[in-house]
Chain A
Amino acid sequence: MTHAPDTRPSANQWWEPSPVARHYAPPPRARRQSGDSGGVVASAVGVVGELLVTAGVILGLFVVWQLWWTDVEGDRAQAEIIAGLDWTPPPAEPAGPAVATQHRAPEAPPVAAPPTEGEVFGQLYVPRWGADYVKPIAEGVEKESVLDTIGIGHYPDTAMPGDLGNFSTAAHRTTYGKPFHLIADLQAGDPVVVRTEDTWYVYRVTESKIVTPWQTEVVAPVPGLKAGDPLPELTQRFITLTSCHPMYSAKERYIVHGELDYWAPVSEGTPQELLDAGISFADGGL
């Protein structure tokens, strides 16, 4: 490439070399034409340099892809899944949305049969995470088929929503739509609401903690129960959220436990906790 000096005549178009530059032969080109062996080395070094620059650009692009594009794609895919579920919204009364009656023990909640791997069977609402927060829950915690694409995964062989035991879920805290991005904001008492097609399950957060990736007792039917311990008679209905910790790392896991507060059929209305948070289905809703 030739560089025109600043003194070029203004009549020249910018892409044309100036008269001065036209007479100026760049040295590398001249040396290569002369068949000098130094030219071969120089061009080899040039190619290596270009490859290194290319590698740097690709690494930078990878960061852009991981931190930004996976969220763009994840948010879009997860919103499409929620829209595609096409579940009947909770009923509304003339005065506004109907408030769901709170059903508690000894009235046991309905429990859905375990779905097949990859099947979307639930939605998660967390008022603490905003009125527009809703993410799909699917069976399985495979990274590629569930966590990267659908959003929230349900550990197979753990309880289904509402059941005795521990309804355990995992999701990304960063990237891929980051369903559990604000997991560390959850405080004891916060409602965490799971919806299946027909039932609301309103859990309340009891505990947040940080564990190593090998502490599988957090997803035990009774959280804290070690592998090999005898299984006690189950009397409680837990929920567990697991995500990575710290953010952008996989060194540890952030865990949130909760317990079922009440349940309600969707046909009876919307849980008060969602209405308080401004989540409404009356106008077509979420």
Chain B
Amino acid sequence: MYGLIWRLLPGPVWLRAILALLLAALAVAACFEWLFPWLAEYMPFNETTVGAAAA
């Protein structure tokens, strides 16, 4: 999987390394921005209120 990505990236090794780091940074940013906030809603440890009505 990652080997395939590495082979698909163009250029010499140093350029591929930079591109791979960029891709990884993009993936992390997407996780922080969308995936984790969505996932956090299903996590049970963030409740601070009393009562059933208040989630």
Q: Are B28 and A61 in contact (CB under 8 A)?
A: yes
Q: Are A175 and B50 in contact (CB under 8 A)?
A: no
* Residues 30-53 of B contacting A (Cβ, < 8 Å): 31-32, 35-36, 39-41, 43-52
CA distance A214 to B55 in the complex (A): 12
CA distance A15 to B1 in the complex (A): 22
Q: Are B54 and A155 in contact (CB under 8 A)?
A: yes
Known A51-B1, A58-B31, A61-B31; contact A253-B48, beta-carbon cutoff 8 A: yes
Q: Are B47 and A250 in contact (CB under 8 A)?
A: yes
Q: Interface size for chain B: under 10, 10 to 19, 20 to 34, or 35 or more residues?
A: 20 to 34
Instruction: Kindly provide the distance from the CB of B25 to the nearest chain A CB, expressed in whole angstroms.
Output: 12
- Which B residues form the contact surface with A (CB < 8 A)? 1-3, 13-14, 28, 31-32, 35-36, 39-41, 43-52, 54-55
CA distance A214 to B45 in the complex (A): 16
Q: Are A216 and B50 in contact (CB under 8 A)?
A: yes
A-B contacts, 25 listed (Cβ < 8 Å): A15-B14, A47-B1, A58-B31, A61-B31, A61-B32, A62-B31, A65-B31, A141-B54, A142-B54, A144-B41, A147-B48, A153-B49, A155-B54, A170-B50, A170-B54, A213-B49, A213-B50, A214-B51, A214-B52, A218-B50, A242-B50, A244-B47, A250-B46, A250-B48, A253-B50
